[in-house]
Amino acid sequence: MKTLTNVIDLKMYINGEWVDALSGQTHDVINPANGEVIAKAPLGDVEDAVRAIEVARQSFDSGEWADTPPVQRASYLNAIADKLEERADEFALLETLNQGKPIKESEIDVADAVACFRYYAGMITKPDGQTYHVADPMQAMVVREPVGVCSLIVPWNFPLLMSVWKIAPALAAGNTIVYKPSEVTPVSAMKLFEIIDEVGIPKGVANMVMGPGPTVGNELAESHLVDKVSFTGGTVTGRSIMKAATGNIKNISLELGGKSPNIIFADADLETALDYTLMAIFFNQGEVCSAGSRLLIEDKIHDQFVERLIERAKKIVVGSGHSPETEMGPLVSQAHMEKVLKYIEIGKEEGARIVLGGNRLMNNGLDKGFFMEPTIFVDGTPDMRIVQEEIFGPVLVVQKFSNEKEAIELANNTKYGLAAGVFTQDAAKGLRVIKKLRAGITWLNNYGPTYNEAPWGGYKQSGIGRGLGTFGLDEYTEIKQININLQVEPVGWYKN
Ligand code: NAD
């Protein structure tokens, strides 16, 4: 098992320089597997955010980055991808150290991050824009241009990957950025900016600040020098970012929370459904925005499916993410673990029945970390908070349905609309149900895969806009209409 010996001294990156918070203050960054301090991070404040925003504004207004030919911007992104790939093991190690997730999951995140840089490097050099046939003698066309200064704010559950999903398309499109990682997981962020620095992206184009959301994050959302805010995080925070962004009518993208249904029909291939159901809720400790945290099972197979699910979930190996045997790591922080444990108490009080887990794990040397048992509730009903609210941990709530219509009604019955899974061997039924689900990402006979090529985002209170794919690049561009007069002569509208 690999660990770090030295506490990492983190810095912010502004105008191509490594800097501390202006106040000089720092805070501890914790390894959730054992509670030890792994890094000291700058405790930035509004003044640090202002400094970074001013730099990004000046840089954008100079035109240097937007005017850099796309092929050259692409070569910077490819160089970042190459260096990230060379250091993949180190990044995976650090991600697990800071976030807790099993090392094999961190390795997937790093590989996906590499691929995301390459994907947008490729896309930005491809033809885009459109021409329109309008009345002679005019010719209309559309070109895409960068939005300007973009604030990019990300959460702690996939610290590297969520950052790259924003940084890669924003830079590819020619924007300048001020990026803020979560204060809980800033380690891989700084390492990524080491690479951004090494490849020689012009100073001032990519800036990184650290610090609390309500101060640093709020300034990034509120500042009139910022043109766009792209946020991934909780729905409550998303709402306050939306309000903060109104002052100068910012362009906004919001990737928010979820309480996604995973629907199992009696005619499903049950072994496949079981496998994906486990991944849907226990991957990344259940700290996944699109987690299938509500399991809807057709009544005919309910008891049998739950029994098999318990058998399988019981065997999940919980432990330090650095151990290759580990299948589920610790929750990201003590505060977050306590929040999840509180939801378990709420569920019991509401009358749901625990059939597996429900406790913090303290045995076998896990007492210093924030480990929890995989947990399953049955008898969930739509009025319960554990059915309606995002718990964001390894806690599955099972509901029963008796027909297609009821499955759809239950599935749509929350304020969220991020993702949904459907398991059935009747393809027509599967597609029929999916078409009725109010969710932005859906899976038929699988649950969870994400692709750089395909759009990511939610309906309802799960967000606004789409990341990834061509849609992800669109989020970082403005559309300009250009009308060209092919016969240059006075129009003659006014007589004199
Ligand atoms: P969070 O909303 O608490 O924090 C996210 C980021 O916002 C952090 O960097 C934080 O410092 C910052 N922030 C907090 N308050 C702010 C404010 N008032 N103004 C500006 N910035 C502020 O979320 P979290 O606890 O870090 O992450 C978990 C949440 O993220 C879950 O709800 C999860 O569903 C969501 N998430 C969504 C997606 C998606 O793609 N839809 C992906 C990952 C995570």
Residue 176 forms part of a structural domain: yes
Q: How far is the CA of 257 from the centre of ligand 1 (A)?
A: 8
Give the structural domain span for 114: 8-256+462-481
Report helix, strand or coil for 194: helix
Residue 91 forms part of a structural domain: yes
For residues 27 and 40, the answer to whether their CB atoms sit within 8 Å is yes
Q: Are residues 180 and 290 in the same domain?
A: no
**What is the per-residue pLDDT across 195-237, written as a single tens digit (0 to 9) for each?**
999 999 999 999 999 999 999 999 999 999 999 999 999 999 9
Q: Are residues 475 and 420 in the same domain?
A: no
Question: Which secondary structure element, helix H or strand E, spans residue 314, and what is its range?
Answer: helix 302-314
Q: Are residues 111 and 152 in the same domain?
A: yes
Residue 493 forms part of a structural domain: no
Q: Which of 289, 373, 390, 475 is catalytic?
A: 289
Q: Are residues 366 and 466 in the same domain?
A: no
**What is the per-residue pLDDT across 78-103, written as a single tens digit (0 to 9) for each?**
999 999 999 999 999 999 999 999 99
Q: Are residues 242 and 325 in the same domain?
A: no
Please give the single-letter amino acid code of residue 219: E
Residue 218 forms part of a structural domain: yes
How confident is the model at residue 464, as a pLDDT?
98
Tell me how far apart the alpha carbons of residues 233 and 178 are, in angstroms, rounded to a whole number. Answer: 17
Q: Are residues 199 and 303 in the same domain?
A: no
> How confident is the prediction for the chain on average, in pLDDT?
97
Give 403's contacts (C-beta < 8 A, 6+ positions apart): none
Residue 24 forms part of a structural domain: yes
CATH assignment at residue 212 = 3.40.605.10
The dihedral through the CA atoms of 280, 284, 285, 288 has a sign that is negative
For residues 318 and 192, the answer to whether their CB atoms sit within 8 Å is no
Nearest to 35 by CA among 328, 362, 406, 411: 362
Q: Are residues 131 and 266 in the same domain?
A: no
**What is the per-residue pLDDT across 303-345, written as a single tens digit (0 to 9) for each?**
999 999 999 999 999 999 999 999 999 999 999 999 999 999 9
| Residue having the nearest C-alpha atom to atom 12 of ligand 1 | 213
**Is 116 annotated as catalytic?**
no
Give 260's contacts (C-beta < 8 A, 6+ positions apart): 290, 291, 292, 293, 294, 416, 418, 419, 420, 421, 439
Q: How far is the CA of 154 from the centre of ligand 1 (A)?
A: 6
How confident is the model at residue 1, as a pLDDT?
46
Rg value, the chain, Cα: 24
Residue 1 forms part of a structural domain: no
Residue 20 forms part of a structural domain: yes
**What is the per-residue pLDDT across 398-444, written as a single tens digit (0 to 9) for each?**
999 999 999 999 999 999 999 999 999 999 999 999 999 999 999 99
| Residue having the nearest C-alpha atom to atom 26 of ligand 1 | 155
Q: Are residues 251 and 208 in the same domain?
A: yes
Tell me how far apart the alpha carbons of residues 178 and 185 are, in angstroms, rounded to a whole number. Answer: 17
CATH assignment at residue 440 = 3.40.309.10
Q: Which of 54, 95, 222, 255 is catalytic?
A: 255
Number of domains in the chain: 2
**What is the per-residue pLDDT across 8-43, written as a single tens digit (0 to 9) for each?**
999 999 999 999 999 999 999 999 999 999 999 999
Residues of the chain with pLDDT > 70: what percent? 99
**Is 255 annotated as catalytic?**
yes
Torsion of CA 344, 349, 354, 360, to 10 degrees: 30
286 dihedral zone (left: phi>0; alpha: psi -120 to 50; beta): left
For residues 110 and 95, the answer to whether their CB atoms sit within 8 Å is yes
Q: Are residues 282 and 426 in the same domain?
A: yes
| Residue having the nearest C-alpha atom to atom 11 of ligand 1 | 213
Q: Give the global pTM.
A: 0.97
Q: Are residues 325 and 422 in the same domain?
A: yes
Please give the single-letter amino acid code of residue 166: K
Q: Are residues 252 and 270 in the same domain?
A: no
Q: Are residues 24 and 160 in the same domain?
A: yes
Q: Residues lining ligand 1, CB < 6 A?
A: 153-157, 162, 180, 182-183, 213-214, 217-218, 221, 232-234, 237, 240-241, 255-258, 289, 390, 392, 418, 458, 463
Residue 490 forms part of a structural domain: no
Structure tokens at 202: 């012009």
First to last CA, the chain: 86
Residue 194 has pLDDT above 90, yes or no: yes
**Residue of 237, 331, 475 with the most ligand 1 atoms within 8 Å of its CB, for mutation:** 237
How confident is the model at residue 127, as a pLDDT?
81
